[in-house]
Amino acid sequence: MDLFSTLGDAAAWTRAHTSLVLVLYGGMSVVTFVAFAWDKLCAKLQRRRVPEAVLHTLELGCGWPGALAGQLLLRHKSEKLSYRVVLWAIVALHLGLLAYVATRG
């Protein structure tokens, strides 16, 4: 089994389960937004922070919309260029995969 047939199978599954995919993105976005809020609170209180690797893992696991909302609404992690580069790479990956699923016959 090659990569393209695997991606084709994943695309077919995603199209067949669109509601589940939307729930996954919504739920992970809420979890990621809460993690952003918690990290910002910890930063203000000078407590132990949420590791960036954890935040990026949440973003990769379909939580990137929540991360973007956290940056916009909480003004958190919006100045650090190295963080933004990784986040936008994750966003590009997800949008590319979603475009692939949407255009796959």
Residue type, 24: L
- Whether 42 and 50 have beta carbons less than 8 Å apart is answered as yes
Residue 103 vs residue 5, higher pLDDT: 103
Q: Output the pTM of the full model.
A: 0.85
Residue 98 lies in a domain: yes
Residue 79 CA from chain centroid, whole number: 18
Domain, as residue range, for 80: 33-105
User: Does some domain include residue 92?
Assistant: yes
The CA distance from 47 to 4, in Å, is 45
In a domain, 15, yes or no: no
Residue 26 placed within a domain:
no
Q: Is the dihedral of CA 44, 47, 51, 57 positive or negative?
A: negative
pLDDT tens, residue by residue, 32-42? 999 999 999 99
For the chain, how many structural domains are there in total?
1
Q: Which pLDDT tens digit goes with each residue over 40-88?
A: 999 999 999 999 999 999 999 999 999 999 999 999 999 999 999 999 9
